Amino acid sequence: MCGTVTRADEGRRVILAGWVNHRRDHGGLTFLDLRDHTGLVQLVFNPTHSGEAQRVAERARLEWVLRVEGTVGRRPPGNENPNLPTGEIEVTVESCEVLAQADAMPMGVADDALAEERVRLQYRYLDLRRPRMQRNLRARHRFVKTLRDVGDELGFTEIETPTMIPSTPEGARDFIVPSRLWPGHVWALPQSPQLYKQLSMVGGVDRYLQIARCWRDEDLRADRQFEFTQLDLEMSFVDEDEIFEVLETMISRAWESAFGMTLATPWPRLPYADAMRRYGSDKPDTRFGHELTDVTAIFEHCQFRVFAGAIAAGGVVEALRVPGGGELTRGELEGEWLQVARTYGAQGLAYLWRRGGDYEGSITKFLSVSELAQLTAALGVVDGDCICFTAGTQRVAATALGAVRMHAARRFGWIPEGQFDFLWVTEFPLFEKDPDDGRIKAVHHPFTQPHPDDWPLVRTAPERVRSRAYDIVCNGVELGSGSLRITRPEQQAAIFEALGLTLAEAETKFGFLLTAFRYGPPPHGGFAAGIDRIVMLGLGENSIREVIAFPKTQTGADPMTGSPTPVAPEQLAEVGLRLAPKAGSSAPGPT
RNA sequence: GGCCCCGUGGUGUAGCUGGCCUAACACGCCACCCUGUCAAGGUGGAGAUCGGCGGUUCGAAUCCGCUCGGGGUCGCCA
């Protein structure tokens, strides 16, 4: 292979095939760099050795595919290239065959010739030739292969579950597939194999594993695609400790084999409530401190109406000390910093500077000497700091200031590079109130066990019930989640009741699972980890599109294939469908 | 659905406080020269009317509006 030729091969005859990465034509003597996924090697075409091969080399252009036969030799002294692994040697070509020509490239293939993402996706097959993408694809392969290997060692059985399953209204929007044999009926692509893996537990599988493709018809993001891949696990007769240990083993070993870095295990556990309180996030970036402080008690009776009003309404005031923030201008704080807080629902962002041993800033005049002294003590304020505040409900104030914390971290370089802080966020709330209709909904899914201590609250104060659901978080990215499941009918009934589901409704939605649970379900729990995101993180990429061979754009299209495409009426008729006219193309209505 | 950023030859950029832009530079492409280069070099050449539409103006790549496309993000993602 091109990149694996070494000094040890000196004198050997080799046959190499690859792409022309670069050409340097001296009008007689010609050099071509030949590339395959292993790297580059310099080919020398000397008219005195082989005039025929040299004439081919003169014609060859970037990205032509060549097969050459030649002899490996040391480069003449002084002509070594220390920037290349194969820089000490070269291949003197005796014969050269053009396997394929290439038109002028629509984009460069070198890593430092990065084109606009639209162009990269349109010519994804060229983009994939880039060394970086080759590295990413192969690292992903190693990662997944090791997950399977370790899973096998740990007694897991890989089970394939269907990709055409019943559609359920819960959770994300389904991609639906019309049924030809059952006109008017549809299948859905799974958002996850959740129910099937639980059924496999009932089926005695004991330890289920799947590298599962999942689909969700929601808006795309840097870390979200329509279809993504998860490491899906389910285990019988286990509790959190065993599940955590399995995942720590599988992911740390796969991480090491794919990225060559070791991960310390076990990972710390952080209850959800603490994560929200300390970091203002359920997926905290714990690579740096600068935690939030609840200063509600200090400002309970203060003259600043925004604080006092929020507290009187049952809310809180959160504070963040920004060392060095004294240099922040009013324009910055009231511009982009405020915008960050507002994006996450805060009404505003209050701030103070500590300069020359005193507080400055527009809210200073509303705060008493005593209040400011307490603030100084509580946060350890020193000269040159800026203190940012949000006020409101605990959730909004903390979340917004948590976002400000991340903004500050990037602004002031708090984030240590090359560090990976994995942790478990545990004891997620079981329920949450839907702000739109005020109804109680399951945070994870309705089969999640409540925390054993909180069973009495299921009836009385459902929003305070903690669950046995947990997430893996690393560097502020949510990498996966899981839970222990409910298998006892009477417990399940209590949860459905809290969710406002009648037994009849539950039967309609999940009847097959409830039926299965009448025939001796083993206690079980599991986890699903987002492979795209983990590989993205391990490779230092900022988007999962960099670790997916053929991703979609943010608008959910594929520029390479020009899809999605319109569909012929006959094809629709066959599956019993009629499409609504496109909103823009319908007749204009009354204005 | 909201907010923010971007859109100039095949690619990447400059120009964008309006006229000197009949649009510049690098890479790539074409032709010729060149036997030790490795971001090879030299000479010459082709190639964009500045995403699209509309407006302001004597005059627009440069200002405004709409629109299309790409990216980021909030909502959404049990």
At A49 the pLDDT is 84
Q: Is the C-beta of residue A409 closer than 7 Å to nucleic acid chain B?
A: no
**Banded model confidence at residue A439, pLDDT cuts 50, 70, 90:** confident
Structural contact between residues A408 and A322, judged by C-beta atoms closer than 8 angstroms? yes
Amino acid at A238: V
Structural contact between residues A538 and A139, judged by C-beta atoms closer than 8 angstroms? yes
Q: Is the C-beta of residue A25 closer than 7 Å to nucleic acid chain B?
A: yes
Give, as one character, the DSSP assignment of residue A579: P
Nearest C-alpha neighbor of A346 from the set A387, A305, A388, A393 = A393
CATH number of the domain where residue A376 is located: 3.30.1360.30
| A91 shares its domain with A141 | no
Separation CA A215–CA A193 (nearest Å) = 10
- Joined together, the tokens standing for residue A284 give 């905290």
Strand B contacts (CB < 7 A) among A residues 87-106?
87, 90, 104-106
Separation CA A71–CA A56 (nearest Å) = 17
Q: Is the C-beta of residue A84 closer than 7 Å to nucleic acid chain B?
A: yes
Helix axes A240-259, A131-153, angle to 10 degrees: 140
Q: Whose CA is nearest the C1' atom of nucleotide B10?
A: A106
**Banded model confidence at residue A583, pLDDT cuts 50, 70, 90:** very low
Q: How far is CA A72 from CA A41, A92, A192, A204, A523, in A?
A: 10, 6, 52, 59, 63
State, as a whole number of angstroms, the distance between the CA of A221 and the C1' of B72. Answer: 8
Structural contact between residues A442 and A453, judged by C-beta atoms closer than 8 angstroms? no
Q: Is the C-beta of residue A227 closer than 7 Å to nucleic acid chain B?
A: no
Q: Is the C-beta of residue A73 closer than 7 Å to nucleic acid chain B?
A: no
- Joined together, the tokens standing for residue A92 give 């003197």
- Name the closest nucleotide to A106, judged by C1' and CA: B10
| A204 shares its domain with A141 | yes
Separation CA A1–CA A66 (nearest Å) = 13
- Joined together, the tokens standing for residue A532 give 């795209």
What is the length of chain A?
591
Task: Give A6-37 pLDDT, tens digit per residue.
Answer: 999 999 999 999 999 999 999 889 999 999 99
- Name the closest nucleotide to A442, judged by C1' and CA: B78
CATH number of the domain where residue A77 is located: 2.40.50.140
| A253 shares its domain with A297 | no
At A590 the pLDDT is 24
At A589 the pLDDT is 26
Task: Give A53-82 pLDDT, tens digit per residue.
Answer: 999 999 999 999 999 999 999 999 999 999
Please list, in sequence order, all residues whose beta carbon lies within 8 angstroms of the beta carbon of residue A485, skipping any fewer than 6 positions away.
Answer: A198, A447, A448, A449, A523, A524, A525, A526
pLDDT higher than threshold 70 for residue A243: yes
Structural contact between residues A164 and A559, judged by C-beta atoms closer than 8 angstroms? no
Structural contact between residues A320 and A292, judged by C-beta atoms closer than 8 angstroms? yes
Separation CA A39–CA A275 (nearest Å) = 45
State, as a whole number of angstroms, the distance between the CA of A335 and the C1' of B18. Answer: 30
pLDDT higher than threshold 60 for residue A351: yes
pLDDT higher than threshold 50 for residue A237: yes
Report if residue A517 sits inside a domain.
no
Beta-bridge partners for A74: A89
Report if residue A207 sits inside a domain.
yes
pLDDT higher than threshold 70 for residue A587: no
| A145 shares its domain with A47 | no
Structural contact between residues A354 and A386, judged by C-beta atoms closer than 8 angstroms? yes
At A171 the pLDDT is 86
- Name the closest nucleotide to A28, judged by C1' and CA: B35
Say what the alpha-carbon torsion angle A6, A11, A17, A21 is, to the nearest 10 degrees: 60
Task: Give A125-173 pLDDT, tens digit per residue.
Answer: 999 999 999 999 999 999 999 999 999 999 999 999 999 999 987 789 9
Report if residue A371 sits inside a domain.
yes
| A92 shares its domain with A182 | no
- Name the closest nucleotide to A583, judged by C1' and CA: B1
- Name the closest nucleotide to A555, judged by C1' and CA: B70
Q: Is A245 helix (H, G, I), strand (E, B) or coil?
A: helix
pLDDT more than 70, % of chain A: 98
At A468 the pLDDT is 97
- Name the closest nucleotide to A82, judged by C1' and CA: B38
Structural contact between residues A333 and A339, judged by C-beta atoms closer than 8 angstroms? no
| A138 shares its domain with A244 | yes
Query: Span A415-421, mean pLDDT?
Result: 94
| A302 shares its domain with A173 | no
Query: Span A457-481, mean pLDDT?
Result: 95
Tell me how many helices (H) and strands (E) chain A has: 18, 22
Please list, in sequence order, all residues whose beta carbon lies within 8 angstroms of the beta carbon of residue A42, skipping any fewer than 6 positions away.
Answer: A31, A32, A33, A34, A75, A81, A84, A86, A89, A90, A91
* Alpha helices by DSSP H, A154-238: 194-202
| A252 shares its domain with A295 | no
Please list, in sequence order, all residues whose beta carbon lies within 8 angstroms of the beta carbon of residue A464, skipping any fewer than 6 positions away.
Answer: A429, A454, A457
Q: How far is CA A360 from CA A244, A306, A323, A423, in A?
A: 48, 18, 15, 38
Domain stop point among A100, A115, A142: A100
- Name the closest nucleotide to A447, judged by C1' and CA: B78
| A140 shares its domain with A195 | yes
Element (H, E) at A389: strand A386-392
Domain stop point among A365, A397, A412: A412
Q: Is A114 helix (H, G, I), strand (E, B) or coil?
A: coil
Beta-bridge partners for A234: A208, A526
At A584 the pLDDT is 40
Query: Is the torsion defined by CA of A341, A344, A348, A352 positive or negative?
Result: negative
At A581 the pLDDT is 61
Structural contact between residues A174 and A198, judged by C-beta atoms closer than 8 angstroms? no
State, as a whole number of angstroms, the distance between the CA of A266 and the C1' of B65. Answer: 58
**Banded model confidence at residue A458, pLDDT cuts 50, 70, 90:** very high
Please list, in sequence order, all residues whose beta carbon lies within 8 angstroms of the beta carbon of residue A138, skipping any fewer than 6 positions away.
Answer: A37
Query: Span A402-414, mean pLDDT?
Result: 95
Report if residue A337 sits inside a domain.
yes
Structural contact between residues A316 and A294, judged by C-beta atoms closer than 8 angstroms? yes
| A51 shares its domain with A149 | no
pLDDT more than 90, % of chain A: 86
Report how many domains make up chain A: 3
Report if residue A372 sits inside a domain.
yes
Rg (CA), chain A: 30
Separation CA A38–CA A6 (nearest Å) = 12
State, as a whole number of angstroms, the distance between the CA of A107 and the C1' of B23. Answer: 23
What mean pLDDT value characterizes chain A?
Answer: 93
Separation CA A187–CA A164 (nearest Å) = 6
Separation CA A13–CA A94 (nearest Å) = 10
Beta-bridge partners for A180: none
Query: Span A510-538, mean pLDDT?
Result: 96
Strand B contacts (CB < 7 A) among A residues 336-375?
339, 343-345
Please list, in sequence order, all residues whose beta carbon lies within 8 angstroms of the beta carbon of residue A562, skipping any fewer than 6 positions away.
Answer: none
Q: Is the C-beta of residue A543 closer than 7 Å to nucleic acid chain B?
A: yes
At A51 the pLDDT is 87
Say what the alpha-carbon torsion angle A200, A206, A212, A215 is, to the nearest 10 degrees: 50
Domain stop point among A353, A388, A412: A412
At A450 the pLDDT is 96
Say what the alpha-carbon torsion angle A493, A494, A497, A502 is, to the nearest 10 degrees: 10
Q: Is the C-beta of residue A514 closer than 7 Å to nucleic acid chain B?
A: no
Report if residue A154 sits inside a domain.
yes
Report if residue A449 sits inside a domain.
no
| A255 shares its domain with A129 | yes
- Name the closest nucleotide to A194, judged by C1' and CA: B78
Separation CA A236–CA A208 (nearest Å) = 9
- Name the closest nucleotide to A118, judged by C1' and CA: B70
Q: Is A139 helix (H, G, I), strand (E, B) or coil?
A: helix
Structural contact between residues A284 and A272, judged by C-beta atoms closer than 8 angstroms? no
CATH number of the domain where residue A543 is located: 3.30.930.10
Nucleotides of B under 7 A from a protein CB: 1-3, 10-13, 27-30, 33-41, 68-78
Report if residue A303 sits inside a domain.
yes
At A582 the pLDDT is 56
Strand B contacts (CB < 7 A) among A residues 106-165?
106-108, 113-119, 121
Q: Is the C-beta of residue A557 closer than 7 Å to nucleic acid chain B?
A: yes
| A238 shares its domain with A300 | no
Structural contact between residues A76 and A28, judged by C-beta atoms closer than 8 angstroms? no
Predicted complex ipTM exceeds 0.90: yes
**Banded model confidence at residue A86, pLDDT cuts 50, 70, 90:** very high
Q: Is the C-beta of residue A45 closer than 7 Å to nucleic acid chain B?
A: no
Q: Is the C-beta of residue A218 closer than 7 Å to nucleic acid chain B?
A: yes
Amino acid at A467: S
Separation CA A537–CA A136 (nearest Å) = 11
Beta-bridge partners for A89: A74
Structural domain that includes position A26: 2-100
At A331 the pLDDT is 86
Query: Span A405-433, mean pLDDT?
Result: 95
